Chain A
Amino acid sequence: MKKSSSMIPYLIWMALFIIIPMLLVVYYAFTVKTPEGITWSLDNFARFFEPIYLKVLWRSLALALGSTLICLLLGYPVAMIMAGNAFTRKNVVMLLFVIPMWMNFLLRTYAWLAILERNGFLNVLLTSLGLPRLNILYTNTAVVLGMVYNFLPFMVLPIYSVLSKIDKGVIEAAGDLGANPVQVFTRVIFPLSLPGVISGITMVFMPALTTFVISRLLGGGQFTLIGNLIEQQFLVVADWGFGSAISMVMIIFILLSMAIMSFFEGEDKEKTLW
């Protein structure tokens, strides 16, 4: 059990399939192919600052931030209610909440196609109620909806797990010391749940920023987010240098949000996924 040689297969595997690929991404991002051969350059990064690509970046950031905010506003009350005593069979409610996550991500997104399309479920419902039709498929709204739908559990679960660990005595003490319910929430419960909120925000923001499936299916073919841009560079135009540069920018964003997260989380180190 103490033999350190047991680590060798794992180390080789991770070096081969994680470290070297990452180094290759860095290599492609910093080199350009010229007729004379391959030279080091920052051209790929400079290209990213062209207006059309900056627009893609802003749109991706805006949609990801928007859906993160909606997830937080919708999800925090859910987490609070579940951590409270509104339900007697908490485990069952929790299970019901995660079951949809077990369905294939792609099929979950596809399901919204069937609801939002012109003759879809939503419009059938609206017309039968005598209301005007809504055409939100292939718009920002549809993309944000898809993101919220797919990532909401990632917001609720970490907040729930932090909230359910809060010592009830602390909340009672705040009440006994004269705080009204609003104060109890803003001064006690919310600050204590901050680690969960931060990890929820990161867990929603990161996949929302990098998705290309949701934008492709619900946003239509013309809809470009940063994920779609990367996909195009690799699978359509075969510009690996530029694609790698965008990927590196994404990694920087991820590292930044992780740094913020670990700053807030402090000593709570021995955590697994959330």
Chain B
Amino acid sequence: MVKFIKRCYVYLIFVFLYMPIVVLMAYSFNDSRSRGTWGGFTLKWYVELFQDRTIMTSLYYTLLIGVSSALIATIIGTIAAIGIHNSRGLKKKMLMNITYIPVLNPDIVTAISLMILFVFAKVRLGFLTLLLAHITFNIPYVILSVLPKLRQLNIHLYEAALDLGATPTQAFWKVIIPEIMPGIVTGMLLAFTLSIDDFVISFFTTGSGVSTLSITAYSMARRGINPKINALSTIMFVSVLVLLVIVNLRQEMEQKKERGKKNGTKKQNRSYSPEFDNL
């Protein structure tokens, strides 16, 4: 009985969490423009969505910024994580604190400080500033994804590679990088997701002509409900779900592979904590 009440409570919370999304999805297929009434099933909002030049341009910029900022942040972040991992004492503490600044700062403060910088340095607000801003707020998340993997790394592995005749470069690329790869991939996916999800920082650091989906949706939503945004939300939610399924399958496959490989040896603690992965 107690168990039943407990379950019901969690289900109620789920209703609260999913209801807006479901309602939005349902309205995206509603033929009537006024939300109160159901005018029958239609796909016309989807057709209109894909014919909307503004939305399609924003989609292009969102994906372009997402992919390129994730890639650059992953490169800088991975190198930085290795550096932080190898530093000690006060230096390490200072580096970690710098890393945490963008994570802990409210988005709006990061956003206005970057905007001040760009205007101060007379960089025209637009694609470049948007990209720089996204890389900046993405780097810490890559570092925080790679660091746990580095902590798990066996320190003697690198030395063993050197003893067996690998050059430092070879040891780095053939031993260290493959070992921390799961962390790097997690960081990159996280960076991509955060970049796509961001609104506040993009809003302040972009200029005329360049806008992301979030910015376009915001300016449309300020004018009230628009069925095209409902359709857009549905597509975005479904694509995120698909992405999530792929990530989870990839993880499961990797864990299976790992189990096969490490059969008999001490089971290693994978760094995938569910909280972090599903951020």
| B206, chain A: closest CB distance, angstroms | 12
Residue A115 CB within 8 A of the other chain: yes
- Chain B 231-244 near chain A by CB (<8 Å), digits 1 or 0: 01100110011001
Let me know if A254 and B104 touch, CB within 8 A: yes
Residues of A91-109 contacting chain B, CB below 8 A: 91, 93-108
Let me know if A1 and B168 touch, CB within 8 A: yes
Residue A25 CB within 8 A of the other chain: yes
Judged by DSSP, the binding face of A is: helix
Nearest B residue (CB) for A231: B108
- Chain A 68-106 near chain B by CB (<8 Å), digits 1 or 0: 000000100110011010110001011111111111111
Judged by DSSP, the binding face of B is: helix
Task: Tell which of A38-46, A49-57, A242-250 binds the partner.
Answer: A242-250
Let me know if A25 and B113 touch, CB within 8 A: yes
Residue A201 CB within 8 A of the other chain: no
Q: How far is the CA of A84 from the CA of B16 in the complex (A)?
A: 21
Q: How far is the CA of A254 from the CA of B105 in the complex (A)?
A: 8
Residues of A229-274 contacting chain B, CB below 8 A: 230-231, 234-235, 240, 243-244, 247, 250-251, 254, 258, 270, 272-274
Residues of A1-24 contacting chain B, CB below 8 A: 1-2, 4, 6-7, 9-10, 13-14, 16-22, 24
Nearest B residue (CB) for A94: B274
Please, which residues of chain B bring their CB within 8 A of the CB of A121? 23, 35
- Chain B 184-221 near chain A by CB (<8 Å), digits 1 or 0: 00000000010011011000100000000110011001
Please, which residues of chain A bring their CB within 8 A of the CB of B221? 106, 110, 113, 217
Task: Tell which of B40-48, B49-57, B77-85, B257-265 binds the partner.
Answer: B77-85
Residue A192 CB within 8 A of the other chain: no
Q: Considering the complex of A and B, which 6 residue pairs feature the smallest CB-CB distances, nearest first?
A: A111-B20, A21-B113, A10-B80, A210-B106, A7-B83, A119-B36
Q: Give B residues with C-beta under 8 Å from A.
A: 3, 6-7, 9-10, 13-14, 16-21, 23-24, 27, 34-36, 76-77, 79-80, 82-84, 86-87, 95, 98-99, 101-109, 112-117, 120, 132-133, 135-136, 139, 144, 147-148, 151, 158, 168, 171-172, 176, 193, 196-197, 199-200, 204, 213-214, 217-218, 221-222, 224-225, 229-230, 232-233, 236-237, 240-241, 244, 248, 273-276, 278-279
- 10 additional contacts, CB 8 Å, given A107-B237, A221-B222, A254-B106? A1-B158, A1-B172, A10-B80, A22-B101, A82-B10, A94-B278, A98-B279, A102-B240, A104-B236, A273-B103
Q: Give A residues with C-beta under 8 Å from B.
A: 1-2, 4, 6-7, 9-10, 13-14, 16-22, 24-25, 28, 74, 77-78, 81-82, 84, 86-87, 91, 93-108, 110-115, 117, 119-121, 123-124, 149, 152, 157, 160-161, 206-207, 209-210, 212-213, 216-217, 221, 227, 230-231, 234-235, 240, 243-244, 247, 250-251, 254, 258, 270, 272-274
A-B contact pairs, 26 of them (CB 8 A): A1-B158, A6-B82, A7-B87, A9-B79, A20-B117, A78-B9, A81-B9, A86-B7, A96-B14, A97-B13, A98-B279, A102-B241, A103-B237, A104-B214, A106-B217, A107-B229, A114-B27, A114-B230, A115-B19, A115-B23, A120-B35, A210-B109, A243-B112, A250-B106, A272-B144, A273-B275
